[in-house]
Amino acid sequence: MAKVSEDSNNPDERDVGRYRIQAVAEMTGVSAATLRAWERRYGIPSPSRTASAYRLYSDRDIALVRQVRELCEGGMAPSQAAQVVLTRDEAPPPPIERPATDADAHALAVQRILDAVDRFDADQLESAVKHALFLGPSVTVFEAILAPTLNAIGARWEEGSLSVGQEHLAAELIGNAVRYVLRLVQPEGANRVALLACFADEEHVTPLYGIALRFAEWGFKTVMLGGRTPTYALRHAVAEVNPDIVGLSLTITPPPYRARELIDGYAEACGQIPWIVGGKAAPELGEQVSERGGIIAPSDPRLLRELVERLLAARSAATRH
């Protein structure tokens, strides 16, 4: 084939004329005479010329000729086909949604999930959540996309713009995704264990999975007891697992009598194992928790990590003596 220069993947070079007329005739199925006639009459194709006046056709010329030929085969007159193809070629390409920064990508991912929830479109929701999982490390995905989405869903449900059905659909799908991610990021051969559970009346388990991702990032194996963990169940788990730390999660504030009985039960269950309480409602129980030897987890992840490392170091110093 009469090709003048080598192929290039550089898009800027695709418009360079490099094919002789016979080659173009073979590639497009349009005869050399017709190519010359179309050029003269309609300006398609528009080859460049070599120093010795040979026509040189570019990839774009070839694409345009093929389009004119297809339209003609469909019954359109060549003059009209050429006009259609030229108009199409001049139209600006549709804008591609390409976020400029990670923050934009995260905001767009939140929006996609919320749109799917608004439409009650389970398939779309599934695909928006899957897409979000690829936008960074697990902790970033959770904290920059899934947590703000859940918070927005809660706010919309509270103001009445989302139904309970929509809230459940989203919570279920996002919750499942987070559980799945946690299984993937559990560090192998970890030599420290965090035992995690929700308070006995607590169904909000996704916040606990969110914090489990942090523990996994810090090299902890996490053993999950999940929602509604009674005090006796924690006692049994502590005895069996012998964790380095216990983390309890609380989103809804229990009534005072219930809070007292649960905190007493959890303190007893943990014995000498350090235990911390986190979640939106945790600070409200600060006094009772610290009276029984527990600690309210700071919400700043850096401070939380320092606290956890300090508690582990203190425990290992105590067990050495």
Determine if 285 is a binding residue for ligand B12 (CB under 6 A). no
Closest distance of CB 147 from ligand B12, Å: 4
Of residues 246-275, those binding ligand B12 (CB under 6 A): 247-249, 251-252
Distance CA 79, CA 72 (A): 9
What does the DSSP 8-state code read for residue 142? I
R_g of the chain, CA atoms, integer Å:
32
Q: Which of 72, 62, 67 is nearest to 87 (CA)?
A: 67
**Nearer CB in complex with ligand B12: 73/261:** 261
Tell me whether residue 26 or residue 261 sits nearer to ligand B12 (CB atom): 261
Q: Is 205 in the site for ligand B12 (CB under 6 A)?
A: yes
Which residue from 276, 285, 261, 271 is spatially nearest to 307, judged by alpha carbons?
276
Q: Is 243 in the site for ligand B12 (CB under 6 A)?
A: no
154 binds ligand B12 (CB under 6 A): yes
The CA distances from residue 60 to 51, 67, 85, 261, in Å, are: 21, 11, 12, 77
Part in contact with ligand B12 (CB under 6 A); list of ranges 52-60, 75-83, 123-131, 152-160:
152-160
**Pair 279, 252: CB distance under 8 Å:** no
174: nearest Cα among 140, 201, 210: 210
Q: Which amino acid is at 252?
A: I
Shortest separation between residue 240's beta carbon and ligand B12, angstroms: 20
Instruction: Determine which residue in the list 105, 117, 125, 150 makes contact with ligand B12, applying CB under 6 A.
Output: 150
Nearer to ligand B12, 35 or 194 (CB): 194
Amino acid in position 165: G
Torsion of CA 199, 201, 206, 211, to 10 degrees: -10
CB of 308 to ligand B12, least distance (A): 8
Residue 40 or residue 302: which is nearer to ligand B12 going by CB?
Answer: 302
- Smallest gap from Cβ 85 to ligand B12, in A, equals 52
294 is an interface residue for ligand B12 by CB under 6 A: no
The answer to whether residue 229 forms part of the interface with ligand B12 (CB under 6 A) is: no
Q: Hey, what are 146's tokens?
A: 């899934």
Out of 18, 112, 204, 221, point to the residue binding ligand B12 (CB under 6 A): 204
Residues that bind ligand B12 (rule: CB under 6 A) add up to a total of 33
Rounded CA-CA distance 287/282 in Å is 10
Contact 320, 314 (CB under 8 A): no
Q: Work out how close the CB of 121 gets to ligand B12 at its nearest, in angstroms, rounded to a whole number.
A: 18
Part in contact with ligand B12 (CB under 6 A); list of ranges 55-63, 105-113, 123-131, 146-154: 146-154
Helix (H) or strand (E) holding 194: strand 192-198
Separation of alpha carbons 35 and 46, rounded Å: 10
The verdict on 289 binding ligand B12 (CB under 6 A) reads no
- Partners of residue 224 on adjacent β-strands: 196
Q: Does 222 bind ligand B12 (CB under 6 A)?
A: no
What are residue 3's DSSP bridge partners?
A: 19
- Would you tell me which residues interact with ligand B12 (CB under 6 A)? 143, 147, 150-151, 153-155, 158, 167-168, 171, 175, 201-208, 210-211, 247-249, 251-252, 276, 278-280, 297, 304
